[in-house]
Each structure stands twice: as structure tokens, then as C-alpha cells.
Structure 1
């Protein structure tokens, strides 16, 4: 009989030699969530357990200081950002080079040791934390920027570079990373690529599939796949890089990335608008695309319940008063007069057409940041709830908020609050259901209902966060059996033993 998660930890404690610094009793560690394997009744795969000889190998390769086995230190790697999921890994490895990743995976594959790749651990679907005792391979020390070409706009970096740090570095060359996320201060570029991240400006710049020129990855057997090209046009054979983009660490671990950056805009405007209903929101959206055209870089939407939520949790209030819906529009360009003229003309038409009821425009950096913070700080309130069920779906824009209204009716008194916000420009809705505490009954009431309705609307059950652990069992709702089977065939080819990020993506 396979040991439980708790037994796995105890076994690892007994096997770790002195250099691993296991100096605290497991029972002194206080973690809020219960083990994922217990909450979700998951059976452990037939992987080997960590043994003393394994630890000696990793010590010889990395040294003691790039191995974490202290139970208190392990907490931040074993628990997801939302504090809902908890693995019981007893070891974190921190390689610095592709060659070290290759040697680790080759050894783990040979010894049948499961591995959980982890970047910034900002996943919202449990894709970056172990379910059982998988070895956590953290890329946080793989944070070197290899080159920045300010002529072509191409940056090449290791996968562990923090998104905000990378953007700051290219800014010195007049460039901008074409990706902006609320978690930019901690998420890493390898994780962004592995989940095909979208973010706030996908409407203008696209997702990672469109901006990654090349990458380097290591497969389960330690084979290094070199696809680190920096050309926009290269049709020599299969585009293997696209297999790793969005694969969530199940096919290989991304170690280096080449990204096409865009020229950094020299002027920006942000408008914060209030609208009477979602029909007027769509009219404003259509007008913005028509009148702002080439300078429109982002368009976000929030409902009144979202504003109430951040008002209660974070003491953030609407800068324009209370309205049923709010729009945040950003323009980015190179000519201040031209852009200002266009956005004020747009606002005049929107007001005169009664598409919007009120609005304010920021042109100064500090005021722009203040308006953006209303939208970007929403996730800070998530951990201040009793429990929050978070869903990331994409929908045709005409059905965008119908799902929110339906969920309010469907939940009734089971929910304290149902609210929605997101990236209207690309149809990505973040639907949140706040409750006093986690309840399996409520979760069963939500799922798979919410995913079935999304599919019926012609949407996707995962817009930008991947499938991870939490959505894996619903893959069959999102893709036909033949497609899922083909995905499994690819997984089998790249990772025959299934050691890479097990229990993720697939049912």
C-alpha cells in the first residue's frame, strides 16, 4: 500500500542526512490548507520515494545551499498563492543552468522520481505546486538576462527572470515586454510562457505564442531541446517551441526564452468610465476600437460588485462615483497631442451618444498608476475572503456578462457575492464567487455547471491560466476525445514515465 502524503513527509525526514538541515518536527509546521490529495481524493502515482542516495546526488550536483529541505522554508513552495492547495514535497532544488536542469531530470527519470516545476508560484489553478511529494524544481536562480538587442527588439533571458525586472531592464533600451500581469512583481517569464499568459494588454500585443521567437527546454530524460532562435521568420521544419508554450511543464522545463519586445510608448492616456448597463459597455467598446484604433492598448471592465468588493477589502473606491459598470481604457503612442486629441474626441462622442455616464482621464504617470491600481489590486482582496472560487473563462463578448448574471441566480444564498471583471478586449472574464468558507457542496454546485455553460456559450473554460490541477478533470469538456488522446500521445512521447508535473492538465 502506498504511503499517504503525511507518511511521505515522515519518511523523507528519516532519510535526509545532516546536510539537508531538517531541524524542525513536521508537526510544528502550521499550514492553512489541508493536503490537496486528501481534499480531492487523489491517488498517488507509482513514483519512487526520495531516498538517501538521491539526496547525495543532488548535493554533489548543486551543493547544500541550493537544496531546501527545512519544513518551514518548504511551506511557500508547497502551498499555492491562494492558500487553497498544499503538497508535501520534502525537497526543493534550485539549479542555475540548463545543464544542471538536464542532469536533474535525467537522474529523476532514471530513478522514477516525480518533479514539480515551479517558477513564481502565482498559478491560480494549482499548476505550480506538488500534489504529493514530488521534488520541486525551482527556476528562481535562473534569472540572468543574456542579451538585449535594441535594434531588433529581441531579449534573450533565462526562464527564472521576474517579469517586472525584465521589463525594467528592457525599458533602459526604450523597449517594453509585451506582457503585463498583476503578478508581474513575482511571476517568472518561464512560467508565463509555460501557461501562455495573456494579461492586461493582450488586446494590443497578443499572448506568449505570438511573442516568443524561440526557447530552450529540457525534456524528462534530460534531453536539451534547442529552439532558441531570434528570427521572426524561420520555417525550417516543425515549430517545436509551440509545443512547450502553454504545456504547463508537462512536456519539459523551459530554461531560456527569446522574446520580441515592442517599442516602449512615450505617451499614455488612461480613461476610467462609468456605464449604465453592459449593452452600453459593448457600444463603448466598439466605438473605442473604431475611433482609437492603432493607439488603443487595453480595455478592462468591472461590475459594481467588483467595486464593492475592493471597497470593503482594500478601501479602494471608484474615482468617478458609483455606476453599474466601469471601463478602463488605455492608449499608448508616440505623439502626445495626437493621442490626447483622439481620446477626448472619443469621450465626447461616447458621452453625447449616452454610451457612458461619466469618466475621467489621466495623462500624468502618477494618476495613470492610480487609475490602473483600481483594476490591478483586485487580487489583493482575494486572500481577505473566507473563501473565493475563482474562474478564468473566455466568452464571445455579447455573452460576456450573461454568465455573471446567471451565476448570481444559480448560487442564490449559497454565495456572499458573485462578481466579474476582466479583459473585455479579448473576451476573458474573471468570475469570482465569494463564500464564508470552502464547501465541497458549493464547489459541486458550481462545477461542472459553470464549465458546461461556458461551453454552451461557445467559450473556453480556461482563458489564460491553463488547466493546472484544479481544471484538469474538465479537459474532456473543453476538447473532443480524439484531441485529448492526441495530447496524451504527445505527453507519452516526451515523458514516457510521466514524471513531469503529474496530476496536472490531464483528467
Structure 2
């Protein structure tokens, strides 16, 4: 095994989230979608919004363009009004008025989503949560944190770290995404294998319904077994049932020792067997297991100017351990890697607990999406598949699209069966689009997988929801939507498939 020497030099760039400079087509022109029967914004509406908010928090005209385009440049709306509330009461007044006028709205956090869920499809009013960024309380004894939904994930992590806590969620977009957006999409992230998803970590929410009613579902306890847990309606519903304005989240004690291993693997079967060995030998300290194929890693190292410490292999894996005793954890990780190499599961690897080197290794993984966008237009799919079939869709799709695509690659959270599948081309290509959809979702469904592992449904996937949910389940979702948002003003054209009328 080769170890990272202290003299090794790795160059890495500060993370930046920006899509291709080319402005995408309007969503209504690129996709077959019809505008709903909603009111068209007029000057009186703008005046009403300015009476609720300070005038400078009502954005109109050209300044709204950035709020209309998603991060990957796949969809673009035509909203001319962006509202920036600071309080739950302001959100309530906005929604009360919009509901009375039947004005469609779209809540927006950091706008780092990958399924078109956080931008307008047509001319919906954007409610930006960026100014609702107050951390109200950090209880270091219970680990419970109460904050507004517009707090940036990285800022929340920095604040709780001062109390020796950590946020049970880590994403590549942490420098931009909002914790409220994470909750609204039930974001998964890099350490779900250790901390679970947000349905388990979020103890309560405050949300505003379409009619302006404020639902106080906050809690100060992990154990609060009082009737229906209504908070779960808002976790993962992508703003379609209500706008999350505050939340209470349990933050565990921050690990005192973090170690990282980056290894090269010759084939996918060895990926599986190495993962199985890691679960057996690392057990309670294992916090993350990631898989990256050769093409994916090549994109991030080349386009983001990052030097990989290993030579080229068909697959790479990242193992992170988090514990309280560094000597103990480092010994366990080293023994695991030695055993993996003796069994010929791992071809080569590096291990480190130096923060700069760990950051470099994580950037090779986290900046893959960014690097692909620098190279052209990327069709991105976020699916859950049985581990025995986890990677096989990549070569199948590569053969299906042939020379039409520049790159077909896959990477993701092998620790929780979540594959990120990517098809790269120069620009949006209708021929490739027809080849990959609905094929990807049909393939996933045949394996009893999920068409959305962690990114949500958004605008891109409502018509494919039936591949993962029964008709009865979708009907019940629709009943909840009708009950809580009868005028369907909240994030329309998203999550649920349109009714055949």
C-alpha cells in the first residue's frame, strides 16, 4: 500500500457552483408542459408584495434571471417577481394573498437541486428563503438545533462545531444549499450510512400552508410520541404541501478522529466484496463508502485541476471512519486495507487523517458533477439499485447511446445503494433524451429500484413516479395535495404527475 507522504502536494480549487454559461431554452419550449390556470402578475400584485416586505426585498425585471435557471442549466422559467421574506409571518402573508388571487409560487433555497424543483416552470412568483438565515438556538446538552430554513448548510455546520456537534448531513453543495431545502427534498448526502436520512434527524418543522396558515410542528425532543407525526409530510415533499420556514434538527457529537482511505479497484465484484469487508471490519466507525468509476474521476481531476494520488483503475472507493480515538481508528482502517489487499480486492490505496489531503480526496468525488457541467450538457439520473446490479446500467446505457454521447459514467453512495448516472453531450440533445428516458426508469423499475434516491422528483420525474410508487400511493399523495393546497399554487408542475383531463 502506498501512503500519502507529508511532502505530497495536491492542488485543489475552491468549490464553486455554476452551470454552463449558455442560457438554456425556456422550459415550456424544451418540454411538453402546459401552463395552469393561474393569475398573471400585475402592478397591483407587486404593490401588495411591497406592502408586505420592504421594497428592496421585492425583486423584479432583469435581476430575476438567476432565480429562473437551475444549477445544471436544464430548465428555465420566466418569473418577473422574486420575494425575499425574513420571517414566517411574512411568508404567511405572501401565501395568503397569492392563494386568494390564485398566483402560483415556487419556494427556492440555494437552488442547487438537480431535478428542476426549485425554479419556476412558467411565471410563478419565486419565494427566496435566503434572508431567513437565523440560527435561533444550539443546545449542546441535547444536541438539538433550532434555525430558520434559509441557513446555508456549511454555515450551520460551522456554528454547531463550536459546540462540539456536527450536522448529520454533508453534501457537495454545502457552501450554497439551505438546510430548509435539504429538509424539503429529504437530501441524502455522503454520510447517510452513518446518520440515516433527515426523516430520522429532523425533530420538528414550522411550515406555512398555501392559505397562509402557520403549522407549528416544532419539537425539542427526540421522543415525542403524540399522535400523527405531521412533520413528515413536509420532509421530502419539495414545497408542494407547504413552505418550511423553521426546523429543529438533532446534531450528534462531532467525531474527534476522522480517517480517510482512497483505493483503486480492478472490477465491480471487488467493489462489492471490499464494501462487505469494510462493514465487517470497520463496523461502528464507518461513516461513508463511495464508489467512483474511471471516467467520473477523470472528469474531476482534469476539469478541476486536482491531482489523484493513485494511478488509473476501473473503479475507486472512498472509505471514511469517524470515531473518538484516532490511534484505534487508524489501526482498524489500516488493518482493513491490508486485509483487502491481501485478498486481492484492492489494487492500491492511500490513507490519511491530514485535513488538507482529506479535502483533496473528497473534492475528487464532490466536484464530478461540476466538472461534467464544464464539459457540456449532462443528463443526470439519481437512482437506487440493488448492489448486485448497482453498476451494470452504466455499460448498458453506454452501448445504447453509442457515439451520440461524449461520456457515460457512474459514481455514488455504494454504502446506501445510490448511483449517480450521467450522460454527457455537447448540448441538450433530443435524440439522446429519447434514448435515455424512459429507458433508465424502466430499467430501474425492473430491478425494484427507486427512480429518485435522494434528489427528489422535481419537474423532471413526475411522469416516472409510477415506476416506484403504486397507483394507490400516488392517489393518496394527490388527496393530500388537494387537502393542503386546493388551488395548487405551491410549486406546480412538480412531484405529482398531471391528471389526464
Task: Decide: shared fold, TM above 0.5.
Answer: yes
Deviations 1:39-95 (A, max 9, x none): 112111000011222111111110211111031x21110011012211000000000
Deviations 1:160-211 (A, max 9, x none): 0000000000000000000000000000011000000000000100111110
1:344 corresponds to which residue? 334
1:342: how far off? 0.6
Contact 2:115–2:455 (CA under 8 A) maintained in structure 1:
yes
1:457 corresponds to which residue? 447
1:478: how far off? 1.9
Contact 2:300–2:365 (CA under 8 A) maintained in structure 1:
no
1:408: how far off? 1.3
Contact 1:387–1:435 (CA under 8 A) maintained in structure 2:
yes
Among 417, 431, 436, the residue aligned to 1:427: 417
Does 2:354 correspond to 1:364?
yes
Deviations 1:348-399 (A, max 9, x none): 1111111101000011111111111111111221321221110000111111
Among 128, 133, 148, the residue aligned to 2:123: 133
SS in structure 1 of the partner of residue 93 of structure 2: helix
Equivalent-residue separation in structure 2 for 1:438 and 1:201 (angstroms): 32
Deviations 1:126-149 (A, max 9, x none): 000000000000100000001000
Among 36, 47, 50, the residue aligned to 2:38: 47
SS in structure 2 of the partner of residue 193 of structure 1: helix
Contact 2:57–2:84 (CA under 8 A) maintained in structure 1:
yes
Gaps of 5+ in 1: 1-29
Count of matched residue pairs: 477
Once the two structures are overlaid, the 10-residue window that deviates more, 320-329 or 404-413, is 404-413
Contact 2:306–2:360 (CA under 8 A) maintained in structure 1:
no
1:37 corresponds to which residue? 28
Among 465, 483, 500, the residue aligned to 1:493: 483
Equivalent-residue separation in structure 1 for 2:485 and 2:112 (angstroms): 25
Does 2:200 correspond to 1:200?
no
Contact 1:68–1:74 (CA under 8 A) maintained in structure 2:
yes
Equivalent-residue separation in structure 2 for 1:344 and 1:330 (angstroms): 12
Equivalent-residue separation in structure 1 for 2:317 and 2:87 (angstroms): 44
Deviations 1:187-239 (A, max 9, x none): 00110000000000001001111100001000000011111012111111110
1:300 corresponds to which residue? 290
SS in structure 1 of the partner of residue 271 of structure 2: helix
2:174 corresponds to which residue? 184
1:285 corresponds to which residue? 275
1:315: how far off? 3.0
Does 2:95 correspond to 1:105?
yes
1:21 corresponds to which residue? none
Contact 1:31–1:75 (CA under 8 A) maintained in structure 2:
no
1:19 corresponds to which residue? none
Contact 2:299–2:372 (CA under 8 A) maintained in structure 1:
no
Does 2:426 correspond to 1:436?
yes
Does 2:141 correspond to 1:156?
no
Equivalent-residue separation in structure 2 for 1:445 and 1:285 (angstroms): 32
Of structures 1 and 2, the one scoring higher in RCO (CA 8 A, sep 6+) is 2
Q: CA RMSD in A?
A: 1.0
1:31: how far off? 6.6
Does 2:445 correspond to 1:445?
no
SS in structure 2 of the partner of residue 175 of structure 1: coil
Does 2:52 correspond to 1:84?
no
1:265 corresponds to which residue? 255
SS in structure 2 of the partner of residue 351 of structure 1: helix
Which aligned pairs between 1:390-409 and structure 2 lie closer than 5 A? 390-409=380-399
Gaps of 5+ in 2: 1-20
Contact 1:310–1:317 (CA under 8 A) maintained in structure 2:
no
Once the two structures are overlaid, the 10-residue window that deviates more, 198-207 or 400-409, is 400-409
Equivalent-residue separation in structure 2 for 1:179 and 1:112 (angstroms): 36
Contact 1:35–1:87 (CA under 8 A) maintained in structure 2:
yes
Contact 2:449–2:468 (CA under 8 A) maintained in structure 1:
no
Equivalent-residue separation in structure 1 for 2:174 and 2:219 (angstroms): 25
Does 2:48 correspond to 1:64?
no
1:154: how far off? 0.5
Contact 1:307–1:317 (CA under 8 A) maintained in structure 2:
no
1:24 corresponds to which residue? none
Contact 2:183–2:235 (CA under 8 A) maintained in structure 1:
yes
Once the two structures are overlaid, the 10-residue window that deviates more, 308-317 or 209-218, is 308-317
Compute the TM-score of the two structures, normalised by the length of structure 2.
Answer: 0.94
2:265 corresponds to which residue? 275
